[in-house]
Amino acid sequence: MIKAVIFDFGQTLVDSASGFRTAEKQAEQRLFENISQVDWDDFIDCYRRIRRRFVGNSDFSRIAMWKELFSAFDQKGDEMQLKQWETEYWETVKNCTKPFPETESVLARLKTMFRLAVITNTQGQRGSGTHRISLFPEIEKYLDVLIVSGESGIPAKPDPVPFLLCLEKLGVINNEAVFVGDDWNIDMVGAKNAGIHPIWLKHHLVKRNWPDVEETVPVITSLDQLIDSNGMLNFYSE
């Protein structure tokens, strides 16, 4: 019997796509202008390769990413400048982030039947307690548990530790919970490895190339597909 519904945050409860696109374009231009004697094609190929590796390792620190980019061209970026750019990067993402249209109504309906939680990776902002979920009290008020993995000694998803910690705090066991997220490797694989039932959200408002995977999990394109007209979960309810 399902007793808890756990969510990822970015691109699951909120849409940050435009913020990331804007922040990345700004970062690319700044970095290119400050790396000497490099061709644009060589620059962008190197940057995107480094960024893919960082993201694949669940490391979202932009300053670490950018330092490695400078190093790849045998150069060194200005530390204070990189810190300022990182701050402005995350401010851009925050300012362009908004809940999906159905988020609050779905959480309100689920809350009457289930315990609710969020497990979200920190995204490299300096200091703790800086995750942008705090900007959305209309979402946070529905949560029984919030885990920011990558902070306070908690490893980032897809490591099973944040999933298991969340279950412990919710007071449920793994087969009594579902996890809803957008990223296959970080969310779906992480949840499965922790024994939690996965539900893959490929939100219709998010424009991205979804990975082609052989394994089958329930797929939804909007959060309201989680529940039926009676507020009951449409998945793993038998």
Alpha helices in 73-193 (DSSP H): 79-95, 103-111, 137-140, 160-170, 189-193
Q: pLDDT band for position 185 (50/70/90)? A: very high
Please state, in angstroms and rounded to a whole number, the distance separating the CA atoms of residues 212 and 185: 12
| Mean per-residue pLDDT, 179-205 | 96
Q: Which of 48-57, 190-199, 214-223 has the lowest mean pLDDT?
A: 48-57
The SS3 of residue 160 is helix
Q: Which of 18-22, 38-42, 68-72 has the lowest mean pLDDT?
A: 18-22
pLDDT value, residue 107: 97
Q: Nearest-CA neighbor of 15 among 130, 94, 109, 91?
A: 94
Q: pLDDT band for position 29 (50/70/90)? A: very high
For 112-151, write each residue's pLDDT tens digit.
999 999 999 876 555 444 567 878 899 999 999 999 987 7
What predicted TM-score, i.e. pTM, was given to this entire model?
0.86
pLDDT value, residue 238: 67
Phi/psi at 117 (5° precision): -150, 165
| Mean per-residue pLDDT, 155-163 | 94
| Mean per-residue pLDDT, 45-72 | 91
| Mean per-residue pLDDT, 212-238 | 90
Q: Which residues contact 8 (CB under 8 A, 6 or more apart)?
A: 118, 119, 120, 157, 179, 180, 181, 182, 183, 186, 187
Question: What order of strands is seen across the sheet that includes strand 197-201?
Answer: 145-149, 115-121, 4-7, 177-181, 197-201, 219-220
